[in-house]
């Protein structure tokens, strides 16, 4: 009998994705995957509690790879907030495209609103943390509860934007998925234009000025 192979988490990702693509379904058990690739089943449980968690972990790894690439970039920290977010999107979807066959295979058997969003649940938490670190400029209302509400609203809005971009990527049939790149750029730019607080500050400053002038005139 051939000696059992030592494996790591990335090996299991590869075994799982290849199995799914070759068979049109997930492996029926960790035992089946271990037998097929000649490793001890107990090694599987070093990394995963059960087979069902592998897919979610694969999507987590897409995010982790994205963040690692950005952190290793010499230019990323010098970018403004808008370009940091654009860099995140472009890098993430490049990694997603490298695994497009697997993601599309999952999508073909899923209802996007439930199954895929469930797979992205951990990614959502990580994405929210990433957005918090961006320190997006916003209007300070000097009210802790309202400020927290605005922060949460921004995080949720950007997550919705992320999911919409994901759905667009799934449906994109253009060469090199170039339409997705265009959609990402327009979505992010539009989002930041809507979040732009400078016009709001100017309006409020004008309002304060007129208010005080009216008091003095009266």
* Cα–Cα distance, 92 to 78 (Å, whole number): 19
- Per-residue pLDDT at 75 exceeds 70: yes
Structure confidence by residue, pLDDT tens digits, 171-192 = 999 999 999 999 999 988 888 7
| Choice among 7-11, 164-168, 191-195, 211-215 with the minimum mean pLDDT | 211-215
Q: How confident is the model at residue 152 (pLDDT cuts 50, 70, 90)?
A: confident
CB-based contact 157:190 (threshold 8 Å): no
Beta bridge partners of 217: none
Q: What is the pLDDT of residue 192?
A: 79
11 half-sphere exposure, CB direction, 13 A CA radius: 15
Give the mean pLDDT of the chain.
85
Task: Measure the CA–CA gap between 150 and 131, rounded to whole angstroms.
Answer: 13
Q: Is the per-residue pLDDT at 55 higher than 90?
A: yes
pLDDT band at 113 (very low <50, low <70, confident <90, very high): low
Q: Compute φ and ψ for 151, nearest 5 degrees.
A: -60, -45
Q: Give SS3 for 199.
A: helix
Question: For residue 216, what pLDDT is reported?
Answer: 54
- For residue 167 the two structure tokens come to 């759905």
Of 217 and 64, which is predicted with more confidence?
64
- Strand, helix or coil at 214? helix
Q: Given this model, what pLDDT does residue 14 score? A: 97
pLDDT at 154: 85
Q: Taking the CA atoms of 197, 145, 83 and 159 in sequence, report the sign of the dihedral they define.
A: negative
% of the chain surpassing 90 pLDDT: 65
């Amino acid at each position: 009998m051939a000696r059992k192979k030592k494996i790591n988490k990335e090996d299991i990702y590869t075994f799982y994705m290849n199995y799914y693509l070759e068979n049109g379904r997930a492996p029926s058990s960790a035992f089946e995957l271990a037998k097929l690739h000649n490793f001890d089943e107990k090694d599987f449980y070093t990394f995963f509690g059960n087979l069902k968690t592998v897919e979610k972990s694969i999507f987590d790894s897409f995010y982790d790879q994205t963040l690692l690439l950005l952190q290793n970039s010499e230019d990323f920290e010098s970018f403004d907030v808008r370009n940091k977010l654009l860099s995140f999107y472009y890098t993430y979807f490049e990694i997603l495209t490298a695994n497009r066959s697997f993601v599309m295979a999952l999508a073909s058997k899923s209802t996007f609103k439930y199954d895929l969003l469930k797979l992205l649940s951990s990614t959502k938490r990580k994405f929210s943390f990433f957005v918090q670190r961006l320190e997006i400029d916003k209007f300070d209302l000097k009210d802790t509860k309202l400020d927290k509400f605005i922060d949460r609203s921004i995080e949720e809005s950007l997550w919705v934007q992320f999911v919409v971009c994901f759905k667009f990527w799934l449906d994109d049939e253009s060469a090199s998925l170039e339409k997705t790149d265009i959609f990402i750029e327009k979505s992010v730019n539009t989002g930041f234009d809507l979040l732009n607080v400078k016009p709001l500050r100017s309006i409020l400053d004008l309002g304060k000025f007129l208010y005080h002038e009216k008091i003095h005139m009266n």
